[in-house]
Amino acid sequence: MGIRLLIVEDEAELADFVVRGLREEGFVVEHAADGESAWDAMRFGGSWDLIVLDWWLPGEEGLSLLKRYRQSGGTAPVLFLTARDSVADRVRGLDAGADDYLCKPFAFDELVARVRALVRRRDRSAELTISHGDVTVDLAAQRAKRGGRSLDLTAKELSLLTFFLRHPGQVLSRTRIYDHVWDEAFDGQSNTLEVHVMELRRKLETHGPRVIHTIRGRGYLYESTPAAEAP
């Protein structure tokens, strides 16, 4: 059984080059050249070890495909290809569920290196848990623990905690958290997020010190060290 890669890229010359090169590297490669056939392959093409996804495509664009794929439960790592090199765009890609990105034009060797790294990472995380400090989320079972003790979380609290665990030590703006966990635009008014954070905090703090810190005017920081030490 080879490692199965799906390459979604509409520029024929680039796609040919990448597909041929990856096959020479020993991967089993399939190719889709537009949004519609990409979606069919992503959802119904069997289990992929990795999807290389271009941003701009005829039909549905890559970012939207990626969101849809993650929402429908697709778990293959996604390497996002983009000509966009702004930090905001890269963040959008990563927030939508990409595991890594590569800006065009790229060197083929770098693509191969990233593909290998992502496939290795997937093998390592096959147990599907994510943890930081003494907090662990079992993504398959949809359960969370702190210090070995189960936390009774709602689905929203669990996805909120998962998002925090994926970005420890980073200040996450309310907009970014909201966009990811609620999958809708933040209107800046609603206190839904604050309420959920408060509740999640209460449940976490019955089993240990504070890990979700409020950074005034900026958002939240997930960190096992005291907030005073945070930048």
Phi-psi region of 73 (alpha: psi -120 to 50; beta: other; left: phi over 0): left
CB of 8 to Ca ion, least distance (A): 9
Give 4's strand partners.
28
Measured from the CB atom, the residue of 59 and 133 that comes closer to Ca ion is 59
Q: Which two tokens mark 98?
A: 């990409």
DSSP 29-56: EEEE-SHHHHHHHHHHS---SEEEEESS
Q: Tell me 59's DSSP state.
A: S
Task: Report the nearest approach of Ca ion to the CB of residue 87 (Å).
Answer: 21
What's the closest the beta carbon of residue 93 comes to Ca ion, in angstroms? Answer: 14
Contact segment (CB under 5 A) with Ca ion among 27-35, 47-55, 125-133, 216-224 equals 47-55
Q: Rule CB under 5 A: say whether 10 interacts with Ca ion.
A: yes
- 139-168 binders of Ca ion (CB under 5 A): none
CA atoms within 13 A on the CB side of 108: 12
Segment near Ca ion (CB under 5 A), from 8-16, 30-38, 142-150, 159-167? 8-16
Least CB distance to Ca ion at residue 170 (A) = 30
Among 25, 37, 56, 175, indicate the residue that binds Ca ion (CB under 5 A).
56
Q: Which amino acid is at 180?
A: H
Tell me whether residue 5 or residue 151 sits nearer to Ca ion (CB atom): 5
Q: How far is it, in rounded angstroms, from Cα 213 to Cα 220? A: 6
What track of x and - describes contact with Ca ion for positions 71 through 110 (by CB under 5 A)?
Answer: ----------------------------------------
Q: Does 36 bind Ca ion (CB under 5 A)?
A: no
186 near Ca ion (CB under 5 A): no
Task: By CB under 5 A, tell whether 54 contacts Ca ion.
Answer: yes
Size of the site for Ca ion (CB under 5 A): 3
**Torsion over CA of 61, 62, 66 and 69, rounded to 10 degrees?**
60
Q: Indicate the residue whose CB is closest to Ca ion.
A: 56
Distance from C-alpha of 109 to C-alpha of 223, rounded to nearest angstrom: 35
Task: Identify which range of 16-24, 54-62, 72-80, 202-210 contacts Ca ion by CB under 5 A.
Answer: 54-62
CB of 10 to Ca ion, least distance (A): 5
Distance CA 34, CA 186 (A): 31
**Burial class (CB within 10 angstroms; exposed 0-12, middle 13-18, buried 19+) of 221:** buried
In the beta sheet, which residues pair with residue 220? 172, 214
Which positions lie near Ca ion, rule CB under 5 A?
10, 54, 56
